[in-house]
Amino acid sequence: MSAECIFCRIVAGEVPADVVHRDDDVVAFRDLSPKAEVHVLVVPVRHVPDVVALGAADPQLLASLVRVAGEVAAEQGDGQFRLVFNTGAAAGQTVFHAHGHVLAGAGAADVGL
């Protein structure tokens, strides 16, 4: 856990969030500024800076994150979704804790993240 990381603080329960899924490995919560009808962030409990580092360090954890994204899309929408990972500041990553954006429903196809 990183004390400065907002996602680590959400995972720890220090910062409130609208959590839609929590298990030992992955937490999913609604984005505060949704870009689609369903916009949920899926994050590993473990602090890893980006999806490339996550895949290198723990491919099984990355697979769990993708599985949870699918479950969230099925529960919150119709199961059809986009899963977007921004990796690096130039690519739009603003929180350097690996996370995927689950985008579903109205507006999901038009979101540029």
pTM of the model: 0.94
Task: Confirm whether 99 is a catalytic residue.
Answer: yes
pLDDT at 106: 82
Give a yes or no: residue 59 inside a domain. yes
Average pLDDT over residues 11-19: 97
Q: Which of 39, 97, 99, 101 is catalytic?
A: 99
On the question of pLDDT at 60 being above 90, the answer is yes
Domain count, the chain: 1
Give a yes or no: residue 1 inside a domain. no
pLDDT at 113: 56
CATH of the domain at 63: 3.30.428.10
Two tokens, residue 92: 């739009």
